[in-house]
Amino acid sequence: MSEDVLPRPFHVAIIMDGNGRWAKKKRLPRLLGHRAGIRALERTVRAAEGLGITHLSIYAFSTENWKRPETEIKGLMSLFRFSIRRKVDEISRENVRLRFAGKKEGLPGDVAGLMNWAEEKTAANTGLTLVACLNYGGRAEIVDCVNSLIAEGRTTPVMEEDITGRMYAPEIPMPDLIIRTSGEQRLSNFWLWQCAYSELYFTDVLWPDFGPEDLKRAVEHFLNRERRYGAIK
């Protein structure tokens, strides 16, 4: 596949679903499913640039995930800490820029600090931009944008660009393609404002089993679609 056939920038977003079911099938603790999901993410990041992807965003932890058992949440936070510390030097050498989207309020202080550190350390990189949506919810993002406008004392009509410019990561282009693994077919509060014209791709593959060929298949499926944005062609 040639990068020349892809729009630039090209943003792929992934709802990484199926870690728990993968672990259950193998009779393993759920946290080992999440660890296997990290390895799947590493494979996907390495494959992304070769497919012409400029931005890759991942749904790492939603605002609804706080409803999970406390032991699982603590395990996930420990996994985030470990992964950020261990991987930032490596992705920086690979010229990957790391961004986070979501509410840092409510996260453990050291996790939020590591997120700031990772963003600063990779800010000058010019390769793939990896956006980790952590403590993220699409509805919360829109509410925060509206409250930002209210706090500014806005008295003139609100335009779309006013909302877009106040997103958690406003410089990130809208996702062209959203992939969800594990057979579920819903967005689950992910990129709600940004997904207005995203193409959706669902696969039965559980996230820990997802690999470069699965990513390539999704991109090829995208290339076979005609995007009209409401127009008649």
CB atoms within 10 A of CB 162: 16
Sign for the pseudo-dihedral over CA of 164, 170, 175, 176: positive
Choosing from 4, 65, 125, 176, the catalytic residue is: 65
The answer to whether residue 65 is catalytic is yes
Q: Which residues of 50-83 are buried (b: 16+ CB within 10 A; e: fewer)?
A: ebbbbbbbbbbbbbebeeeeeeeeebbeebbeeb
Cα distances from 83 to residues 7, 99, 180, in angstroms, run 31, 14, 22
Backbone angles phi, psi at 56, to 5 degrees: -125, 120
Distance in angstroms (rounded) separating the CA atoms of residues 72 and 78: 10
The answer to whether residue 17 is catalytic is yes
Render 179-203 in DSSP notation, one character per residue: EE-TT----TTSSTTTTTT-EEEE-
DSSP state of 224: T
Distance in angstroms (rounded) separating the CA atoms of residues 75 and 114: 16
Catalytic residues: 17, 65
